[in-house]
Amino acid sequence: MKYRQWLISIVLGCMTIVPAVAQWDPEHPATGNLRFTWIHGSISAKANTDVRVQVHRYNEHTFILRQNPAIHWEAPFMYLLMGEERALLLDTGATEEAEYFPLRQVVDRVIARWQRANGVLKMPLLVMTLGSETSQIAALGQFENRPDTVVVGNDSVLRSTVLGNDWPNKGKLDLGGRVLDVLPTPGLDESAISVFDGWSGILFTGNTLYPGRLVIRDYPRYLESLEALTDLSREKHLRFILGGRIEMSAEPGLDYMLRSNYRPNERSLQLTVSDLQDARNIVRLIDGREDIHIHDDFIVMHGVGRGARAYGWPVYIPEQFRKNRTR
């Protein structure tokens, strides 16, 4: 472990001299494009011809990646953030094998294109997950032997090495001009963190808050996490909240069936500050009781499992396919 900490300090200490690629001004968050249609899987996973990893360029230094729902039903999102000294990959998807889920290959290509566009010769990569769920950590191994790469994952000791002396209370991560604020946000996942990027105004919450089933495992800590995120939203110029997956349909309050890998009418990925406040208020109202509270954009569940919302066949699956489950 001491060797890994030493190696991290060496890699992060190697400053890559590159041209200034942006004005990193958190007082005026950079805009981006979220008008985008995500691939939605297929009824037959074997017949699916979509890319394994979908890439969306939110803006010139921010990329959103999504795993094909036909490869894994959770279809998680990953985020690649570029700074002047290093790149950061948040989360690594739900499938370990590169044969089925070539995440490293896709990340390498995105970074290479970004380097050419910005005249950068070398760009170290930091890989860190926003939690410990399989949908976040499965492909960490693809990056273990990648040159100029530090794999932190969700390891608490390695996190403290890169997030500063104030961690685990709070942390900062400087990508080179692009400085990120990091908060511990347990409650659904003991090791969950959330990352605020002042330059884009985006709060990356992983599986702490997303359009889906929020299954509370530690009620006091989850309420504390939402209170901390709400406080942050008052202090910072927060534009959007981007979570780790989508489980809700475009119809308010209706979620997709658990393990469904065909979701043609999904809700949009982004949540707002108002959604965050609603989630905090709902959790306050639950007050530790066993409960399911259905919001238009997410479902808060305490004392029950995610399967409590499995109603049977969702309305979007054609009748002729309902006898043959896809997974």
Instruction: Report whether pLDDT(19) > 80.
Output: no
- pLDDT in the model for residue 25: 79
CB 279: neighbour CB atoms within 10 A? 24
How many whole angstroms separate alpha carbon 301 and alpha carbon 229?
19
Q: Is the pLDDT of residue 7 over 70?
A: no
Higher per-residue confidence, 294 vs 204: 204
> Is 162 in a helix, a strand, or coil?
helix
Q: Which of 108-117, 152-161, 245-254, 318-327 is the most confident on average?
A: 108-117
Confidence (pLDDT) at 308: 61
Q: Return the domain boundaries, the chain.
A: 51-321
Pairing of strands 125-128, 87-90: parallel
Closest by Cα among 168, 219, 175 to 198: 175
Q: Using 50, 70 and 90 to split pLDDT, how confident is the model at 36?
A: confident
Residue 214's SS3 state is strand
Burial of 199: CB neighbours in 10 Å, binned 0-12, 13-18, 19+ = buried
Give pTM, 2 decimals: 0.88
CATH number of 51-321: 3.60.15.10
Is the separation of the CB atoms in 118 and 83 below 8 Å? no
Task: Quickly state the pLDDT bin for 322 (edges 50, 70, 90).
Answer: very low
Supply the DSSP symbol for 274: H
Residues pairing with 293 in the sheet:
300
Percent of the chain at pLDDT > 70 equals: 87
Query: Model confidence over 210-258: pLDDT tens digits?
Result: 999 999 999 999 999 999 999 999 999 999 999 999 999 999 998 998 8
Looking at the predicted structure, is the pLDDT value of residue 153 above 50? Answer: yes
How much is the pLDDT for 112? 98
Tell me the β-bridge partners of 79.
Answer: 64, 90
Q: Provide CB contacts within 8 A for 322, sequence distance 6+.
A: 313
Token pair, residue 274, equals: 């108002």
Residue 83 gets the label, from left (phi > 0), alpha (psi -120 to 50) or beta, of beta
Residue with structure tokens 């309050």? Answer: 253
pLDDT at 327 over 50: no
Residues with Cβ within 8 Å of 72's Cβ and at least 6 positions away in sequence, in order, are: 93, 94, 95, 101, 135, 261
* Whether pLDDT at 295 is above 60: yes
